[in-house]
Structure 1
Amino acid sequence: MIDLAPHILAFLFAAAFVAGFIDSIAGGGGLITVPAMLLAGVPPLQTLGTNKLQSLFGSSSATIAYARKGLVNVHAQLPMFVMAVLGGGLGAVLATVVPGEVLKAIMPFLLIAIGLYFGFKPRISDEDRHARFTPLLFGLTAVPLIAFYDGVFGPGTGSFFMLAFVALAGYGVLKATAHTKMLNFGSNVGAFLVFTLNGVILWKAGLIMGLGQFLGAQAGSRLAVRSGAKLIKPLLLVTCFGLAIRLMLDPANPVRIWLGI
């Protein structure tokens, strides 16, 4: 069992608060908490497991905040939530056989593509548009696939859910943000259960970070409700491009390794 010093736990709490704030609006919180835990000396496997524990607090906190504002019908969203739980759990189970290096290599380019989509599509707003997928089709395809990715790797899941809701389900930006959090919570639950069974969670650090996530998500979601697409769209762009750059600059990025740079 790893025993982290108080100042390290304080650092992780602060990182989780910032991650929860950003994640509740635009996604990408995992690219803050995962490096923070690795920097604190937490082994990679324990980092992944503990990250799912603390992420539960942020995604549930944001879901509650959006539901209180009437932006999420929790009961109607339950079938998709269940699919997200299953997808996240399967992703965590199969993480050892899925080519994770390939996911890490293509991740920056997918984030850039999402950023460009939201940046250059002028009609994106808080207004709902025509849906390309029915709720049933969306729940059986996009939801479990993105949740599966969350269980396997994770970073950027919120951005992928956001893109799917806007491009396929026809949701406005604020409504998409609200529903993204509930499905992200579901995929976190599925992966968390698998990691718990494997005994790779640092409970003390995870619960302290969870408090930071909860508070940060409350603050972020309230700001998002007040500002809508005017805030969410630019922050989503900054998050997508920032995470892409962060991943490409990582010395362990497979593309850099393959190119020898």
Structure 2
Amino acid sequence: MVSGLEEIQLATILLVVVAGLAAGWIDAVVGGGGLLQLPALLLIPGITPVQALATNKMGSIFGTTTSAITYYRRAHPDLKTALPMAAVALVGSFGGAALAVSLPSSVFKPIIVVALIAVAIFTALRPSVGELTKLRHTGRRHYGTAAGIGLAIGFYDGLIGPGTGSFLIIAMVTFLGYNFLAASAKAKIVNMATNLGALAFFLPNGALLWGIGLVLGFSNMIGGYIGARMAVKQGSKFIRVVFLVVVSALICKLGYDVWVENIRG
């Protein structure tokens, strides 16, 4: 069993801790913590991209589980919607991770950048979106739509990853009619399942660095707890503002990746 801590300097461990705290907070509020967490992991000497992805998923599981429990206790999310979404999302994320081995994520990044820009413009120009819960559908249609969202975004999380929580939130706000707080609370339960599905694929390959993953996980737990409490206390307007900031950062990050991989290269 490889811990990954054997030859790491203290400064690098501290960097991982700080990144984990910040990522846990961001993930708890709107998702997108991988923007900080993955680059921090890739600074570790000798770590491979696959090891970074697997270890990132382990850390995120700790954070999303903590924030999901905190949301459940304080915001009481609708489990009849969240749990079926989580189940199909787990299957989708496993399938996405399996495809990621043979298909480069660069194929999809330009499409994702365009989608994120559309999401940012839509959210910014419609301040009332996500303020109140007004369900679009009832009964089977509601649960069918929720399952479709879970499967699609679970697959995305396994295949690519960045912004999964943000996509979950805006999908539940737009297609199901939840406010930002209710959507964020349910997104944590679903995101926990997508992380588990992707990690289940990576584990047999021996890619996980357990020691680093545990350090990252405990940092994520603290950040996730603080973030979830703040989100519940501040409400949908606060989450909406953080959502726009994180989506803008995702656009910049993925846009730069597309430029490096397809234009500059």
Q: TM-score, length-normalised on structure 2?
A: 0.91
Alpha-carbon separation, structure 2, partners of 1:203 and 1:99: 26
Alpha-carbon separation, structure 2, partners of 1:246 and 1:35: 11
Residue of structure 1 equivalent to 2:229: 222
Residue of structure 2 equivalent to 1:179: 186
Q: Which shifted more, 53-62 or 37-46?
A: 37-46
3-state SS, counterpart of residue 114 of structure 1:
helix
Query: In the alignment, is residue 26 of structure 1 matched against residue 33 of structure 2?
Result: no
Identity of aligned residues (%): 34
Q: 1:242 to 1:76 in 2, by over 3 A?
A: closer
Instruction: Kindly report structure 1 stretches of 4+ aligned residues shifted beyond 3 Å.
Output: 73-76, 254-257
Residue of structure 1 equivalent to 2:252: 245
Residue of structure 2 equivalent to 1:118: 123
Alpha-carbon separation, structure 1, partners of 2:89 and 2:130: 26
Query: In the alignment, is residue 210 of structure 1 matched against residue 214 of structure 2?
Result: no
Alpha-carbon separation, structure 1, partners of 2:262 and 2:160: 20
CA contact (8 A) 1:37 1:47 kept: yes
Residue of structure 2 equivalent to 1:80: 85
Residue of structure 2 equivalent to 1:165: 172
Match of 1:50 among 42, 47, 55: 55
CA contact (8 A) 2:83 2:190 kept: no
Query: In the alignment, is residue 106 of structure 1 matched against residue 111 of structure 2?
Result: yes
Alpha-carbon separation, structure 2, partners of 1:258 and 1:190: 30
Residue 106 of structure 1 and its aligned partner are, at CA, apart by 2.8
Residue of structure 1 equivalent to 2:41: 37
Alpha-carbon separation, structure 2, partners of 1:245 and 1:79: 33
Residue 169 of structure 1 and its aligned partner are, at CA, apart by 0.8
Residue 105 of structure 1 and its aligned partner are, at CA, apart by 2.9
Alpha-carbon separation, structure 2, partners of 1:76 and 1:109: 29
Alpha-carbon separation, structure 2, partners of 1:6 and 1:245: 30
Residue of structure 2 equivalent to 1:6: 10
CA contact (8 A) 1:28 1:155 kept: yes
- 2:155 aligned partner, one-letter code: F
CA contact (8 A) 2:34 2:162 kept: yes
Q: Which shifted more, 116-125 or 237-246?
A: 116-125
Residue 165 of structure 1 and its aligned partner are, at CA, apart by 0.3
- 1:9 aligned partner, one-letter code: I
Residue 75 of structure 1 and its aligned partner are, at CA, apart by 5.9
- 1:238 aligned partner, one-letter code: V
CA contact (8 A) 2:70 2:228 kept: yes
Residue of structure 1 equivalent to 2:73: 68
Cα displacement string for residues 182-238 of structure 1 (whole angstroms, at most 9, x for unaligned residues): 100010011111111111000000110001101001001101101112211111111
3-state SS, counterpart of residue 134 of structure 2:
coil
- 1:185 aligned partner, one-letter code: M
For the aligned residue pairs, the C-alpha RMSD in angstroms reads 1.8
Structure 2: unaligned runs, 5 residues or longer: none
Q: How many residue pairs end up in the alignment?
A: 258
3-state SS, counterpart of residue 86 of structure 1:
helix
CA contact (8 A) 1:67 1:74 kept: no
Q: 1:156 to 1:197 in 2, by over 3 A?
A: same
Residue of structure 2 equivalent to 1:197: 204
Q: TM-score, length-normalised on structure 1?
A: 0.92
Alpha-carbon separation, structure 1, partners of 2:122 and 2:31: 16
CA contact (8 A) 1:174 1:225 kept: yes
CA contact (8 A) 2:109 2:258 kept: yes
Q: 1:76 to 1:101 in 2, by over 3 A?
A: closer
- 1:36 aligned partner, one-letter code: A
Residue 16 of structure 1 and its aligned partner are, at CA, apart by 0.6
- 1:89 aligned partner, one-letter code: F
Alpha-carbon separation, structure 2, partners of 1:67 and 1:144: 22
- 2:17 aligned partner, one-letter code: F
CA contact (8 A) 1:91 1:152 kept: yes
